[in-house]
Amino acid sequence: QVQLVESGGGLVQPGGSLRLSCEVSGSIFSTTMGWYRQAPGKQRDLVASIRSEADTYYADSVKGRFTISRDDAKNTVYLQMNSLKPEDTAVYYCNRRYGSTWKWGQGTQVTVSS
């Protein structure tokens, strides 16, 4: 059974950085991997996605600050988050899309606060 496990969340000061990792029990080869986030009372929104190193997407709110990457050999996707803002506070979820199949991780909390 494919499972996704996020890690790297925590408390960070505004302007700080975090790197989130998503380890997938199954292969991520030929998948689209994405990071989503959900703040209390808000919908779950796409932050960034990646099909290949040359094919990435970023939400306008994080463009220029976040970088998504993948290591297919390690079945892992990363989200490097720089210049963090309080508005980035949310639970961050890893997503695996393969065809019409969507899989989600359990989420990791990111809190940006002084």
Span 39-73, pLDDT tens digits? 999 999 999 999 998 999 999 999 999 999 999 99
Non-local CB neighbours of 51 within 8 Å, separated by 6+ positions: 32
pLDDT for the residue numbered 28: 86
Using CA atoms, how far apart are residues 8 and 109, in angstroms rounded to an integer? 9
> Is it the case that residue 13 has pLDDT exceeding 90?
yes
Q: How confident is the model at residue 1 (pLDDT cuts 50, 70, 90)?
A: confident
pLDDT for the residue numbered 49: 98
Using CA atoms, how far apart are residues 33 and 16, in angstroms rounded to an integer? 24
H-type helices in 1-114, by residue range? none
Kindly report the length of the chain.
114
> Is it the case that residue 102 has pLDDT exceeding 90?
yes
